[in-house]
């Protein structure tokens, strides 16, 4: 698959209009759905269980005429896939050697490529499939004559497209609800897409259970999972069907249809095959498993209409802020959970050391503010006096009145112990000692201030019998935007797992949910303060001209790059493809590529800082601790990633 399409495959799940036992009508509706899906760029279309005949035919399933018409029409539908350029899974009854099987026919390239019979036949309550059908359990591989071809009939079939990396398998309705679903073995044998044609009737609460079942099975198998339920055209003699169609990927629901619609319904989603393959490669539990059955592999070539209105990759979530939930309620719950993880981690460290005091440098910026709030919660959890939080402000050459004032107010309002320790004189003495001209505002000028602050914090911790709590965040660790053995170092780094784009929301959440009155006002002003290390001198008006994002790049882009490169193993071409869709017109291609190169270069070159990171709690699926999620040599080469990034710049 072309690297710029990002490994995406468009899957459709359809519940066509249906008449029970009217095979010609049903085939016509299926064809119309196929034609619509082809126009919309789908590569595979899934239809419900026994979609050609209807699931509720009852004893009509014993009629040879019904079988004959279904076989005729499935061959005709197969021929249509050749001109439409897609694949389909269509349900029908198949008679073989005196037995009738509830099958899913896989169609593509003008042919019936395989027939997958159902394994688990429900025969309880309203279901009694064993009256008509035979289970595929233990049947082995058989062949059935369809048209002029012999077609494999077996539950152990895998359909493999080597060009896209997609391998798909089929399980039917009750198979998913079983204790040992066939999808488990299918995925262990290589399937990364499971297609489930189903006929699950509606009962009170069943739709939510079904939705969770599909989503959870996709997570358990680290796969994409499409489900197509029989629609309300099925007989309502005793039960009602709704046409519930779902598409999930690795635990996330990507698409869901409306229910109880008599006309044809189709939902689409772009599954990310590359992401699924990466997830499995990184999961030792998956690699330790093995399928309990042998599978026959059927080659397929999954194509799609390149002229579809929606480009591949657009029919799936792709938020520009992947660490920040867009839904305010979900975001609030996320902030509460992260804040609890951070404060509990620090409380555990306090309990372990027996310390009653900590030292935390407070600047009036976002990161140190969040660390201070976490410390307050940890002290409250343990019933410790907040005065044990020694929170010095350490104003230097670039400290503004706004940040200093906010820092001092916040410490006093929270009941911590404030110390004001200016560092200008000490740093000037240091410049004199090492022979540095203080008018030269280079990296020595900046880092000397950061290290002086850390020295003061460490010595204060010794003096009060406590330890230093660090304030740097995950994004700074990714970029190495910290001074080695300066703000890079502490005894416990409470923000080490929190990306910069989420820090602001955490502070704002604290302002809304944890504090009131003047404290809330100060927190809101801190959240509105531009991000700056405040290491360069202020201007004549006392304002700080050093803006971090003007130097290192927008944090929203860097957090986006971090999420896709580290969490999902995406190459630069794929990151660019996704970022252009996510950020629309906010950043043009050249800007994204400029900062992507900065991210790649800094991420590799600054690994030595992460290799010496202090302890700190992991809060999300992306973490960079050298003891946990990210083990990379400090001298690894970035050449492959930089070469591709620069090649993309040349193309544009």
List 17, 33, 49, 234, catalytic entry = 49
Residues 194 and 53 in one domain: yes
Reply yes or no on whether 173 is catalytic: yes
Handedness of CA 26, 30, 33, 39 (dihedral sign): negative
Residues 270 and 395 in one domain: no
Quick check: is 99 in a domain? Answer: yes
Quick check: is 174 in a domain? Answer: yes
Spans of the chain below 70 pLDDT: 1-6, 541-545, 652
Residues 295 and 341 in one domain: no
Quick check: is 495 in a domain? Answer: yes
Reply yes or no on whether 409 is catalytic: no
Quick check: is 202 in a domain? Answer: yes
Report residue 95 as tokens.
């008679």
Q: How far apart are CA 390 and CA 411, in angstroms?
A: 9
Q: Quote the pLDDT of residue 52.
A: 98
Largest interatomic CA distance in the chain? 99
Q: How far apart are CA 259 and CA 222, in angstroms?
A: 27
Q: Quote the pLDDT of residue 627.
A: 94
Quick check: is 642 in a domain? Answer: no
List 33, 173, 221, 245, catalytic entry = 173
Quick check: is 645 in a domain? Answer: no
Domain count, the chain: 2
Q: Quote the pLDDT of residue 4.
A: 52
Residues 269 and 332 in one domain: no
Residues 283 and 333 in one domain: no
Domain interval for residue 162: 9-299
Residues 243 and 332 in one domain: no
Residues 332 and 293 in one domain: no
List 57, 118, 202, 409, catalytic entry = 118
- What's the pTM value of the predicted model, to 2 decimals? 0.94
Residues 241 and 142 in one domain: yes
Q: Quote the pLDDT of residue 5.
A: 65
Reply yes or no on whether 424 is catalytic: no
Q: How far apart are CA 570 and CA 564, in angstroms?
A: 6
Residues 237 and 122 in one domain: yes
Q: Quote the pLDDT of residue 101.
A: 98
- Return the CATH number at 338: 3.40.50.620
Among 552, 569, 590, the domain-final residue is: 552
Report residue 395 as tokens.
């104003």
| Runs of H (alpha helix) within 58-156 | 64-84
Q: Quote the pLDDT of residue 2.
A: 47
Among 552, 569, 603, the domain-final residue is: 552
Report residue 256 as tokens.
């869901």
Among 552, 572, 603, the domain-final residue is: 552
Q: Quote the pLDDT of residue 152.
A: 97
- SS3 of 557-571: the string is HHHHHHHHHHHCCCC
Residues 39 and 114 in one domain: yes
Residues 292 and 341 in one domain: no
Residues 214 and 354 in one domain: no
Cα–Cα distances (Å) from 533 to 298, 353, 391, 495, in that order, read 59, 31, 18, 16
- Return the CATH number at 119: 3.60.110.10
């Amino acid at each position: 698959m072309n690297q710029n399409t990002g490994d995406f495959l468009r899957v459709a799940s359809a519940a066509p209009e249906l008449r029970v036992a009217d095979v010609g009508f049903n085939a016509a509706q299926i064809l119309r759905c196929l034609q619509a899906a082809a126009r919309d760029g789908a590569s595979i279309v899934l239809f419900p269980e026994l979609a050609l005949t209807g699931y509720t035919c009852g004893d009509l399933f014993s009629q040879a005429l019904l079988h004959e018409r279904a076989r005729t029409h499935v061959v005709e539908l197969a021929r249509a896939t050749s001109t439409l350029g897609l694949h389909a899974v269509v349900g029908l009854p198949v008679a073989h050697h005196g037995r009738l099987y509830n099958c899913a026919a896989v169609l593509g390239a003008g042919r019936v490529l395989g027939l997958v019979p159902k394994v688990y036949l429900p025969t309880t309550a309203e279901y009694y499939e064993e009256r008509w059908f035979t289970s595929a359990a233990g049947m082995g591989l058989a062949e059935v004559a369809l048209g002029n071809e012999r077609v494999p009939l077996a539950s152990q079939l895998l359909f493999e497209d080597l060009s896209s990396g997609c391998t798909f398998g089929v399980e039917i309705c009750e198979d998913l609800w079983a204790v040992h679903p066939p999808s488990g073995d299918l995925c262990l044998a290589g399937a990364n897409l499971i297609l489930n044609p189903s006929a699950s009737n509606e009962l009170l609460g069943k739709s939510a259970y079904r939705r969770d079942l599909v989503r959870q099975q996709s997570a358990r198998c680290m796969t994409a999972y499409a489900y197509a339920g029989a629609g309300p055209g099925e007989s309502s003699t005793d039960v009602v069907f709704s046409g519930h169609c779902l598409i999930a990927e690795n635990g996330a629901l990507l698409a869901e249809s409306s229910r109880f619609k008599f006309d044809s319904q189709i939902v689409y989603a772009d599954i990310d095959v590359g992401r699924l393959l990466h997830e499995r490669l990184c999961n030792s539990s998956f690699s330790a498993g093995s399928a309990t059955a042998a599978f026959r592999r059927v080659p397929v070539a999954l194509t799609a209409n390149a002229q579809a209105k929606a480009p591949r990759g657009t029919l799936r979530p792709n938020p520009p802020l992947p660490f920040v939930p867009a839904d305010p309620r979900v975001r609030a719950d996320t902030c509460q959970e992260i804040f609890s993880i951070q404060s509990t981690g620090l409380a555990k460290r306090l309990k372990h050391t027996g310390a009653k005091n900590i030292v935390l440098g407070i600047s009036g910026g976002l990161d140190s503010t969040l660390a201070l709030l976490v410390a307050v919660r940890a002290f409250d959890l343990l019933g410790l006096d907040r005065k044990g939080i020694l929170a010095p402000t350490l104003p230097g050459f670039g400290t503004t009145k706004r940040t200093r004032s906010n820092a001092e107010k916040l410490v006093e309002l929270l009941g911590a112990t404030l110390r004001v320790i200016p560092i200008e004189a000490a740093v000037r003495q240091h410049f004199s000692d090492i022979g540095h001209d203080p008018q030269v505002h280079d990296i020595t000028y900046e880092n000397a201030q950061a290290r002086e602050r850390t020295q003061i914090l460490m010595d204060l911790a010794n003096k009060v019998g406590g330890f230093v709590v660090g304030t740097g965040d995950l994004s700074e660790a990714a970029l190495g935007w910290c001074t080695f053995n300066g703000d890079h170092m502490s005894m416990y780094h409470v923000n080490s797992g929190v990306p910069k784009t989420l820090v602001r929301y955490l502070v704002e959440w604290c302002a809304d949910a944890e504090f009131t009155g003047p404290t809330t006002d100060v927190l809101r002003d801190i959240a509105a303060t531009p991000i700056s290390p405040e290491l360069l001198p202020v201007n004549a008006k006392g304002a700080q001209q050093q803006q971090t994002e003007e130097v290192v790049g927008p944090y929203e882009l860097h957090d986006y790059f971090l999420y896709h490169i580290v969490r999902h193993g995406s190459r630069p071409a794929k990151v660019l493809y996704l970022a252009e869709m996510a950020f629309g017109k906010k950043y043009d291609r050249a800007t994204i590529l400029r900062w992507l190169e900065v991210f790649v270069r800094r991420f590799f070159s600054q690994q030595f800082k992460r290799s010496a990171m202090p302890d700190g709690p992991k809060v999300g699926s992306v973490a960079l601790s050298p003891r946990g999620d990210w083990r990379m040599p400090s001298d690894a080469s970035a050449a492959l990633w930089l070469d591709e990034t620069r090649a993309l710049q040349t193309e544009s």
